[in-house]
Structure 1
C-alpha cells in the first residue's frame, strides 16, 4: 500500500495517473484545468481578505470621534512616560492644562503652558483631550 499526499488527490500526479489508468492527453487536460482553478481560488481568497479588511476598517472608523482643536483651546496631555518615582496605578494619567498655540494639518499641535511658555516639541492629537474648567 502506498501513501498518497492530500495535494495529489486534488491535483493528480503521474503516480495517481498510472493508478487510475487515464490517458495522457486526458490527464494533461485535467491537470491544466486544476492548475487554473488554483489561481482562481487564490484570487478569490485574496479578494475575500481585502473585503474583510475594508469592512473592519469601515466598522472601526464609524466609531472614531473626530477631535478638532483651535488655537486658544485648553487641553490635557496624556502622560506617555512612566517616571521611576511614579505612584503606580495612582499616578496621574494626564498633565495640564495646556493652551493650544498652533495647529498643523497632519495632526500635530504645539502647546504652551498656562503662563505662556511655549513647548518646542509638537504633540500628536491622539495624546490630547479637551479640558473644561
Structure 2
C-alpha cells in the first residue's frame, strides 16, 4: 500500500498572518507524522523556508505570495517553497558559523536537515527520506 498526502497553500507575506496558517499546517503534519524527531525537523524546515520567502524573497510585501507544497509518501517528505522574489544562488560552502553573521544560517540548517536540498532561483526544495531504521509504519500515523 502506498501512502500519499499533499498540502498545497498560497500564503500572504505577512509574518503575523502566516503564523495561523503555519499552526494549521503543523497540526495537519502532526496528524500524519508520529515520529517526533521527523515532525520537529519538518516544522523547522517549514518555518525557515517560509520565513525566508517572506523576508528575503518577497521583502515583506503583503500583496506577494509564498507558495507551499508539501508531499508525504511512504518513502519521502518533500517541502517546496516558492516566493515572488528574483531568486538567488545558494552556495553551501559560503556560510561560516564562526563569523556570527546570521545571513544564510537558516538555509544551512535546512540543508543539514535534508537528505536532498535544491535552490533554483526563487524556489527551494527540501526532501527527507522516510525509509530507514524506523520503517515507515513507525514514522507515519
TM over 0.5: same fold?
Answer: no
Structure of greater Rg: 1
Report which of the two has the higher share of strand: 2
Higher relative contact order (CA 8 A, sep 6+): 2
